[in-house]
Structure 1
Amino acid sequence: MTSYKSDLLRLLDERGYIHQMTDADGLDALAQKQVVPGYIGFDATAPSLHVGNLVSIMLLRRLQQAGHKPVVVMGGGTTRIGDPTGKDEVRKMLSDDAIEANIASIRRAFEQFLTFGDGPTDAVMVNNHDWLGKIGYIEMLQKVGTHFTVNRMLSFDSVKLRLEREQPMTFLEFNYMILQGYDFRHLSDTMCVRLQMGGSDQWGNIVNGVELSRRMDGVEVFGLTTPLITKADGSKMGKSVSGAIWLNADALNPYDYWQFWRNTQDADVGKFLRLFTDIDLAEIERLEGLQGADINEAKKVLADAATTMAHGEQAAVDAAETARKTFEQGGAGDQLPTHTSNGPIALLDAMLALGLVASKGEARRLIAGGGARIDGVAVDSDAVIIEPAGQPVRLSAGKKKHGLLHFG
């Protein structure tokens, strides 16, 4: 690890957040002298963010923990454009009302991780549509467009990927990097924001903003990115077999969120404890050193801490108790996913409705492999019809995914 002098960079370094910085020495010096307002942008394409966004949220949390000011920038304007980074296709455009509703819903998740208010280190949330929506087209071309060369823009991976694959890229999307660069310049000018953070795939966009602030205003600002967060098996963070691991409880119940963390691979436990919890580093070293079956205790600690942060302590306690009843005692538990059927239902339909599988094809393969059970009894046919019962029926997909089928 590098020997940083500021609390901010020491904290980010020892927890594993730092991948690239535009000027490490300059940012380290600034963070020693003053409160540094720093921002990350989030587009509002859905009513909830997911675990793939969590490292960025935790970056803002660490910024605040180190005595600096988090600025959450919701992309009310840029969502209307669509970030082409890592995308092969043009993003579907959302209505203005849908974007505003998504922003309101997403804010609830941020309130679990950050302290909002009017103080010098309190977090604030702003919407970039408030300034991007007011810029005239000619003004944008004259003031901002002159600082971007098409040659440089064509060199960015987000553009090259589309061109190499002969996928269409609209002129609308091509402008995204200009607007994101202008965001940084605007925030620097109006809120004295001096730092933009983000994932490694945002490096080019962040550098654009740093250069634009220097060229337009002569102001030095800084950029910092995190490494790409993947699981030990190489898969992308934030996804599961059943889909995205959403942060809002109305998009994914806290029990399933707890289970996501409980099912962490052994090799990822230490990394995830550092990135996604506030647990002391010495305790993390002890937990990641556990061997054999004992590592499961570390996974429970991770699940409890991560769920408490996102959903509150009671939700974590309830999820852990449900898991204990389900796995250790063979009971049903109170927090399992549920589905209510008005009459007999096919096993395939029930498993799909409970979110135990992503498709009927997956359910058939699971059944053929002996991995599906009804009330603990293995099922050997995908043609099973479950009849109404006087009590909930527990369905299982493998050893770790369970759900309760009720009859109305």
Structure 2
Amino acid sequence: MNIIDELEWRDAINQQTDAEGLRELTNSKAVSLYCGVDPTGDSMHIGHLIPFMVLRRFQLAGHRPVILIGGATGTIGDPSGRQSERSLQTLEQVQENVDALTAQMKKLFISDDNANQVRLVNNYDWTKDINVIEFLRDFGKNFSINTMLAKDVVSSRLDSGISFTEFSYQILQSIDYLHLYKHEDVQLQIGGSDQWGNITSGLDLIRKKEGNEAKAFGLTIPLMLKADGTKFGKTAGGAVWLDPKKTTPYEFYQFWANTDDRDVVKYLKYFTFLSKEEIEALAAKVEAEPHKREAQKALAEEMTRFVHGEELLEQAKRITAALFSGDIRSLTADEIEEGFKEMPTYTASKEAKNIVDWLVDLGIEPSKRQAREDITKGAISINGERVSELEVEITAEHAIGGKFIIVRKGKKNYSLVKLT
């Protein structure tokens, strides 16, 4: 299957500058293509992954990907999708973010098997020595203000205002495409739908500098929305990060495992490298046996394995299974800390105390009467074991790893108690 056919089947193409020409080019040879990310933070989130998964598909089809980290453009700020100016970061902060994103990209996309197939570049390297006269004469002269104002990324900001700095962003990104076209033989830039204006500006610059016969193309990926119309990748706690310190592997796994039935096949197509046959089989199971959630489990496993590796995937699955079964004691202290990160947390001393007093003093139970009632009815579990005797003493020996006691009240109300 041609890479363009595969992307069309996966509904991963929004716009192309020359669909017929790109199909012909990808059929005839291995193409160098690039996608970029600006170092606005020290980690990508799952929304950033969308165009890079397409880049990876090109690589698997035999093409040559170039990953660009925007050390220069990151100091300016892309106005795409924004209604106000970014706060500029210090050059030191930008460099820290560049280092962090570079490490993340290497982990995700570069291995011993493909190290010579993937290029990782930083646009600061070819931008830093351009002085203002060169910028205006060699590049600015090729851009019409009228055309720049008409780009969606700029026109959407005219009412609220846009600085010359952010207005110039599309020129810098165009310089990137020209540089990579000349020095890395890059003939295709891909990006999110909000990058269309920047991509077409780069194509215009290439043709003005290299001639109208220059073969260069642009392709964008559709904006990802959930079935309910809300933006993909956001949770009540904020973005879903690739950095395990920001979003734990368990939380990452759960994000995908909780995907709506209406979205899961779309996400399988976008984010996994499962075959058409495998995805269609899972789609049939969504229709026939949605309660088994096999498609969601496959999605969660594929994505967690891709981003965090086999070991942390297995850890996420262990935490999930333990919470489902109530077998809390099978978890380590570290796994408990990860799995119960977002649950109500209380602090208690290691001093032995009657369970009724202990629950009330912590605030898990509102009164001794209610605590006694819940215990005698079997509604209270300590570390997965139901407690029904009012005389039970809670001691440091109950603490898993000497640190944590898990209290479950009813079927789903968990609390984490840290011993000090």
TM-score by length of 2: 0.80
Deviations 1:344-388 (A, max 9, x none): 8xx9xx9xxxxxxxxxxxxxxxxxxxxxx99799xxxxxxxxx99
Q: Which amino acid aligns with 2:43?
A: S
Other-structure match for 2:173: 180
Other-structure match for 2:375: none
Distance 2:227 2:298 in 1: 19
Q: 1:132 to 1:116 in 2, by over 3 A?
A: farther
Distance 1:163 1:397 in 2: 55
Q: Which amino acid aligns with 2:171?
A: I
Residue 306 (1) aligns with residue 309 (2): no
Query: Does the 8 Å contact 1:61/1:113 carry over to 2?
Result: no
2:195 to 202, 209, 216: 202
Other-structure match for 1:336: 339
Q: 1:244 to 1:396 in 2, by over 3 A?
A: farther
- 1:247 CA displacement: 0.8
Other-structure match for 1:8: 3
SS in 1 for 2:36: strand
SS in 2 for 1:106: helix
Other-structure match for 2:324: 327
SS in 2 for 1:289: helix
- 1:13 CA displacement: 1.8
Q: 1:56 to 1:301 in 2, by over 3 A?
A: same
Rg larger in 1 or in 2? 2
- 1:116 CA displacement: 5.5
2:280 to 278, 285, 288: 285
Distance 1:298 1:187 in 2: 39
- 1:270 CA displacement: 0.6
Other-structure match for 2:369: none
Distance 1:149 1:296 in 2: 53
Query: Does the 8 Å contact 2:71/2:123 carry over to 1?
Result: yes
Q: Which amino acid aligns with 1:35?
A: A
SS in 2 for 1:206: helix
Query: Does the 8 Å contact 2:328/2:383 carry over to 1?
Result: no
Q: Which amino acid aligns with 1:336?
A: G
> Which deviates the most, 146-155 or 46-55?
146-155
**Structure 2: gaps spanning 5 or more residues:** 350-358, 363-379, 385-393
> Which deviates the most, 22-31 or 283-292?
283-292
> Which deviates the most, 323-332 or 256-265?
323-332
Q: 1:119 to 1:271 in 2, by over 3 A?
A: closer
Residue 270 (1) aligns with residue 265 (2): yes
Q: 1:204 to 1:398 in 2, by over 3 A?
A: farther
SS in 2 for 1:278: coil
Query: Does the 8 Å contact 2:153/2:197 carry over to 1?
Result: no
> Which deviates the most, 329-338 or 90-99?
329-338
Distance 2:409 2:54 in 1: 35
Q: 1:238 to 1:405 in 2, by over 3 A?
A: farther
RMSD: 3.0
Query: Does the 8 Å contact 1:213/1:220 carry over to 2?
Result: no
- 1:119 CA displacement: 7.0
- 1:215 CA displacement: 0.8
SS in 2 for 1:194: strand
Q: Which amino acid aligns with 2:298?
A: V
Distance 1:326 1:232 in 2: 28
SS in 2 for 1:61: helix
Query: Does the 8 Å contact 2:346/2:418 carry over to 1?
Result: yes
- 1:337 CA displacement: 4.4
Other-structure match for 2:41: 46
Residue 233 (1) aligns with residue 245 (2): no
> Which deviates the most, 207-216 or 284-293?
284-293
> Which deviates the most, 234-243 or 257-266?
234-243
Number of paired residues?
366
Q: 1:93 to 1:8 in 2, by over 3 A?
A: same
Q: Which amino acid aligns with 1:169?
A: I
Other-structure match for 1:217: 210
Distance 1:376 1:211 in 2: 64
Q: 1:294 to 1:286 in 2, by over 3 A?
A: farther
SS in 1 for 2:190: strand
Q: 1:398 to 1:251 in 2, by over 3 A?
A: farther
Other-structure match for 2:312: 315
SS in 1 for 2:339: coil
Residue 193 (1) aligns with residue 205 (2): no
Deviations 1:318-365 (A, max 9, x none): 111210110233637424144987658xx9xx9xxxxxxxxxxxxxxx
Distance 2:243 2:300 in 1: 16
SS in 1 for 2:259: coil
Q: Which amino acid aligns with 1:26?
A: G
> Which deviates the most, 292-301 or 244-253?
292-301
**Structure 1: gaps spanning 5 or more residues:** 1-5, 351-372, 378-386
Q: Which amino acid aligns with 1:226?
A: I
Distance 1:398 1:85 in 2: 48
SS in 2 for 1:257: helix
Other-structure match for 1:407: 419
Distance 1:249 1:31 in 2: 36
1:68-83 correspondence runs (5 A): 68-83=63-78
Other-structure match for 2:163: 170
